[in-house]
Structure 1
Amino acid sequence: MSINQLKLYSEFYLFGKKHKIISIEPPYVRIKRPDGEDFRMKFSEVVGHSTFQPDRSMKVTKKELVPIDTLAKLAEPKREEVSERFDVIRPLLLLEEIKSQNLRSIQKFMDQYKHLLNEGEELTAITQEVLIQRINETRIIQKKKKVSRSTVVIYLKAYREQDNQQNNGGIEGLVSRKGRGYTGRNDTKYLEICHPEKPDIVLDVLNVRIDDELIPIVKSVIEHDYLTKYNISKATVWRSIKRECGIRQLHEVSYSTISDIIDRIDKKARERFRNLKQSKAIYDDVARGYADRDALHPLDIIQIDHTRLDMQAIDDKTGLTIDRPWITLGIDVFSRMPWCLYISFEPPSANVVRKAIQHGVFFKNTKLQYGTEMEWEAFGVPNVIYVDNGMDFKSSDIKRLVNESLKSEIMHRPVRLPKYGAIIERLFRTINDELIHNILGTTKSKFADLGEINPEEEACLTINQIRTILMIYLTDMYPIRDHRGLPSNSKTPLNRYYDGCMESGFPEWIETSEEERYKLEFMLTLKKPYTRDGIRFGNRIYKAEECSDIIGQKQTKYVVKYDPDDISKIYLLHPRKERFIELFFVAPSYEQLDGVNAYTYSRVLKLWKEEGESKKKSIPGNDQYARAAKKIKDEIKAQNRN
């Protein structure tokens, strides 16, 4: 990820001309113009300016983004393998950064890998060889396996070589090239092994040399007979395939071929379906530890959590009162400055967490979008994102986004110890007590407090209006209030944030010109076939003229990225054009669904269905219809008796 960091004497372009930072005075920076004159400008206004372009001196990573997300094309087992390899070399990469005087990396190492140090041992004194040995000692205890020194060196070399070629490409260098079968022959075919109950989930993709007619047979037997808890043998699988070939009068496949195919299926996938109890103990991810320390500077530690607002909200598109909306908030522990906000009708999920993190990292631009007096000052890449133990925070997509794309850490607070989430919980209470409970449509926090209030009938705000209210509150009001948890010389979150930036500098950030490309990278990914109808996504269909050349069978699937917050379109990675193509909703038109959330859409459809059923029951003549149907049935029975 191309992340920027503002430092003293950093250079950048503004209005097409090069400028230089000559002093940092949060919230301002003093800038020297090309003519030698200097002036002050707010940091947020500099990086949010439409003509701002960072010079190389601001780049934490100097490479360009790759146009295609290569990792998205991997089957899930191979993608997990890449993450595991990156986890092995991560301490070594941090050690390299530390020895290059990167102070941010020191704290990252201490948060995650302090157990690799002996008591009193200095980080700068440890060598790569010693660290490799200790990494393996830990892996033997935690995972009952080790990685040889030579293998670790190979991983590091592959990571560095790829990283030198393209931005964030180091991780792509960890993709395995082995075990793929007959990759160099013209008669090679692809065999997709999918989840037995969820065919959209691809477990592995193998290269095979068998007849086209045999591929669906082998695929079906492996998925529905072999990948089960009954643990049937490879010989039994082969006999089942042989029997099916005999029925269809097809050329039989040898036992050695079937055995080889089964052996090449991802080991983790095989064991998860054939020996669930044992595989859970081996493969289920252990949640990372919690940061049992104070936050040292702005965006050092962020706490994120969800809550349901005590009010009913109206859907912007339909005008229906849908439900109580959920909000996801992130707060900077050091300053108590809000870092991110996401609001929708969708309950907590990996998508919700992903969108909240995206909002926190990107420049907010609240003046233009929501009419605030100030800009939302807290934005950028944090060191640690601190969450509870909900499954929405433990998904592999979220871990990869935080650990691999942002190069940050996701940590979980201890179970059943609410004090570790007290900061974000206080913010939730403040928002409900001071803001939400004074708005029509409130459900209050207790039923007894409602009195004569009818939340559904009195709901008057759409979800976008609630979002605007919260943005104004979190930008212009909350940051300038006194906070009891802050030092007496920096009593407001905004002052504390500026004081921290004065000491440690402004946090790293992503420039606005690259945000659209990162939004695509952050989207959820799956694989779908493109048929004559287009791509079917649940009860929705998407098409694009540009994809007419890849219309094919359901067995051929393509990488698709989608945003549940906007179901009007999805993105398909075209195999030949090597770029993502926009596919739009066919019916209703995508213009009608622009910006509509998938969860909201499903709720609206349900409400419409309920309304239709209610109308149907109220129509005069329904009883008559039922009586007439009974008469016809009785008449038929009478005729049959005669």
Structure 2
Amino acid sequence: MRLCSLRIDDTFMWCGSKFIVHNIEPPNILIFKEDGERKISKVNYYSLINDDSFELISDSHKRIDKQISKAESNQRSLVDALPDKRRELAFKKLSWIKPILTWENAKSGDMYAAIAFSENYKKYLKDGETVQSINKKTLIERISENKDCGKSTRQLERYLADYLKSESQRENHGIEGLVSKAHMNTHVRIDDLPLELCHPKKKELVLDTIYVRLGEEYIPILKVAIENYYLGKRRKNVAKLHVNIEIMCINAKIESLDYDTVYKIVNRINPYVLEKLAHGDGNTDPKIVNSNANQSFAKAPLQVIEIDHVKLPITVIDENTGYDVGEPWLTLAVDVYTRKIWGMDLSLHDPSGHKVMNCIFNGICMKRTKEKYGTINDWDFHGIPTVFLMDNGSDFTSNYVKSMIEDVLHSEVRYRPIATPRYGGIIERYFRTINQEFLEDLLGFRYKRNDDNNDRKAAAEDAILTLNNLRELLVHYITDIYHHDVHKGLPLECNTPCARYYQAIEIMGYPPFIKEEDEPYYKIQLLPSTMKSYRNDGIREENVKYASPETARFISNKRKNNCKIKFDIEDISRIYLLDPESKSYIEVPSIYPPADEISGMSRKLFQIIRKLLIEKGEITKQQIPGSANIVKGKELLAAKYEAMVKTNMPIRRLALNAGLNLTVNLPSSRIDTPELPLSRRQQLLANLNNEKKKNG
């Protein structure tokens, strides 16, 4: 985690001089020169940390404490879902092997680990001994003899091996190796089979998924029996469920399951799901509801972030042709404690893991809205949250999104209870606020919430905003209006999102931030990954081949899936290959087709072009398009879309999503200036566009 933090008494370099933080007065900080007259100066915090000459200075002890607390925080987030006793046992095992892990890092030359071992585990060193002089076997024996442990050396060695194995499979998740896999809803073994439990009446609604180590023939039996005889308002007890399963096994001519096995399986079903089904919406066990609510209660900025999607009821047009391209999707992230907007993504793409990634990347990085959009205020809210609260949609529950949040950001993922919209009330209220206070004043807004065709046609006829126009206005609204407006859900003494945020900063200091030079690192880390084979002709990913002289050492014709890569579905001209030695990613360009021919091309557009070339007989299904094929494919696709785009709005949207620029002549009906009076925001937009035209 590459995070920086600036607090009282911290030292930093700025404009070639060393400064010390005297005090924090949001949105400013008070500083003075270390070797000067110590005259206190007030500077804007956001401007300071964005300055190229800014560099934070930290001593070794602060870095050690930060690393230790960060590691503990990461590990805790992995086992929050476990019952208290199992969680305590896992952390107890970790505490027994932690001295060994620290010792191994110290022996490898990590000075911070050596200092940490000397300070935290000096009880395992005798007089005259140092970290370098003690060996691993002796250390394990001394830990075993400690009264706080009481485990044999063989048990400690087994715990260490389990931890390292789990850590090698999934970085920062070594503690999973210390938890009994029977109690974890994580697919960690090839003999684990998923048991999907659906709603008894709504079979398309998945309530929970647990993994069992039984034969495949038992999965449909358990699924039917639990859904029909255990879930529901009058669910039966385990004994009766076991009898029903036994009868079904006999009919299927397979060996019956014993009572203990059935009991352990149903005992791992989410208790909230059972209570919800048993009592309905109004009679859920208050203890469980309160428990879930307390887990989402934020006590500081960036502690809990809510993320959700909404389709905005406003039609936008293509900036080249003026044709309407439909209604965009907004992915938004709101901080629960301050009600400030943390991140957003506005596009024509449907909800997906990629939209979630774009929203998260926007949230963790500095927005620089003054520079990009000329806002009055800075959008000065960024950083990495502790918890992400999301609903149960497939775009949020995917392995990609969970891995992105847990493995890259080291944050915790939590999901709202099923069919309980009140748990997402904060972000849902904000969506209503956007409609009522922002969108209603804009031309192209659709007033009716239903799918009334006449209402949609009327909105499309009035539409004058492009997607970029709408994004710019939305940023202005968030930064200069919403963040400074009174919010009923906040305390009276700090009843605006900014006031609430600045009050917390005065007590806690500014949250850690990501420096601009580290943003590309996080962009790569947030990309999806997969394992691929590196052959003599390169790495083949989605019918594109990648290779470079720098990565030729990874070629192997024997080992399958020997390389871990990351890819960007919005630009297929390059991938990123992980170097296991340096633990860094190497950029690998495409060689066929060449990178310069498909630079900036999305995977979606490439697949459409390839399919069209196959239909035209230009290439076979096994072939990869070359440079000439790509050019011809673009021409064929453009001609196809241009012929359809005049009368087909979904085709226009598909073309723009695929990355094509349409050039159809603007119809005369769209050239006419609307006769309706312009709102204040529309006048602002007109002024902005006029200024841009004047400036060229």
**TM-score relative to the length of structure 2:** 0.56
What does residue 241 of structure 1 align with?
none
Q: Counterparts of 1:134-283 in structure 2 under 5 Å?
A: 134-135=85-86, 153-154=96-97, 157-158=100-101, 161-162=104-105, 165=110, 174-176=163-165, 276=219
What does residue 30 of structure 2 align with?
30
1:389 aligns with 2:378: no
1:488 aligns with 2:492: yes
What does residue 72 of structure 2 align with?
93
Distance apart, 1:515 and its partner CA: 2.1
- Distance in 1 separating the partners of 2:350 and 2:497: 29
What does residue 477 of structure 2 align with?
473
Provide Cα deviations, 1:133-152, integer angstroms capped at 9, x if missing partner: x3368xxxxxxxx8696576
What does residue 265 of structure 1 align with?
none
- Select between 576-585 and 15-24 the one with higher mean Cα deviation: 576-585
Shift in alpha-carbon separation, 1:38–1:449, aligned structure 2, 3 A:
farther
Provide Cα deviations, 1:165-209, integer angstroms capped at 9, x if missing partner: 4999x99994318999xxxxxxxxxxxxxxxxxxxxx999xxxxx
CA contact (8 A) 2:296 2:389 kept: no
- Distance in 2 separating the partners of 1:451 and 1:136: 55
What does residue 55 of structure 2 align with?
53
- Select between 437-446 and 524-533 the one with higher mean Cα deviation: 437-446
CA contact (8 A) 2:80 2:87 kept: no
Shift in alpha-carbon separation, 1:166–1:564, aligned structure 2, 3 A:
farther
Fraction of identical pairs, as percent = 28
Distance apart, 1:32 and its partner CA: 0.9
Distance apart, 1:18 and its partner CA: 1.6
RMSD: 5.1
CA contact (8 A) 2:544 2:593 kept: no
Q: Counterparts of 1:443-522 in structure 2 under 5 Å?
A: 443-444=446-447, 445-448=449-452, 451=455, 453=457, 460-522=464-526
- Distance in 2 separating the partners of 1:4 and 1:160: 27
CA contact (8 A) 2:5 2:510 kept: yes
- Distance in 2 separating the partners of 1:352 and 1:499: 32
CA contact (8 A) 1:483 1:492 kept: yes
CA contact (8 A) 1:227 1:273 kept: no
CA contact (8 A) 1:290 1:412 kept: no
Distance apart, 1:285 and its partner CA: 9.9
Q: Counterparts of 1:578-597 in structure 2 under 5 Å?
A: 579-585=584-590, 590=595
Provide Cα deviations, 1:27-86, integer angstroms capped at 9, x if missing partner: 111011242222111222222222221111599756999xxxxxxxxxxxxxxxxxxxxx
- Select between 419-428 and 270-279 the one with higher mean Cα deviation: 270-279
Q: Counterparts of 1:421-460 in structure 2 under 5 Å?
A: 421-444=424-447, 445-448=449-452, 451=455, 453=457, 460=464
- Distance in 1 separating the partners of 2:406 and 2:292: 14
CA contact (8 A) 1:523 1:563 kept: yes
What does residue 612 of structure 1 align with?
640
Shift in alpha-carbon separation, 1:149–1:597, aligned structure 2, 3 A:
same
Shift in alpha-carbon separation, 1:568–1:613, aligned structure 2, 3 A:
closer
- Distance in 2 separating the partners of 1:29 and 1:56: 18
Alignment-mate amino acid for residue 521 of structure 1: Q
Match of 1:564 among 569, 575, 597: 569
Shift in alpha-carbon separation, 1:316–1:580, aligned structure 2, 3 A:
farther
Distance apart, 1:366 and its partner CA: 1.8
Alignment-mate amino acid for residue 48 of structure 1: N
Shift in alpha-carbon separation, 1:568–1:615, aligned structure 2, 3 A:
same
- Select between 50-59 and 545-554 the one with higher mean Cα deviation: 545-554
**TM-score relative to the length of structure 1:** 0.61
Distance apart, 1:6 and its partner CA: 2.5
- Distance in 2 separating the partners of 1:377 and 1:423: 20
- Distance in 2 separating the partners of 1:149 and 1:411: 24
CA contact (8 A) 1:335 1:494 kept: yes
- Select between 392-401 and 157-166 the one with higher mean Cα deviation: 157-166
- Distance in 2 separating the partners of 1:7 and 1:470: 32
Distance apart, 1:499 and its partner CA: 1.7
Distance apart, 1:521 and its partner CA: 2.0
What does residue 628 of structure 1 align with?
none
Provide Cα deviations, 1:304-359, integer angstroms capped at 9, x if missing partner: 11112223445789998655332211111222111111223333333332332222
Unpaired runs of at least 5, structure 1? 66-88, 97-104, 117-133, 138-145, 181-201, 205-222, 230-267, 617-642
Match of 1:361 among 364, 375, 381: 364
- Distance in 2 separating the partners of 1:162 and 1:320: 61
CA contact (8 A) 1:542 1:570 kept: yes
Q: Does the residue aligned with 1:376 lie in a helix, a strand or coil?
A: coil
Q: Counterparts of 1:529-568 in structure 2 under 5 Å?
A: 529-531=533-535, 534-547=538-551, 550=554, 553=557, 555-568=560-573
Unpaired runs of at least 5, structure 2? 117-159, 170-186, 195-210, 224-264, 273-290, 613-635, 645-696
Shift in alpha-carbon separation, 1:272–1:599, aligned structure 2, 3 A:
farther
Match of 1:42 among 20, 39, 44: 44
Match of 2:308 among 305, 308, 328: 305
- Distance in 1 separating the partners of 2:74 and 2:570: 39
What does residue 235 of structure 1 align with?
none
What does residue 340 of structure 2 align with?
337
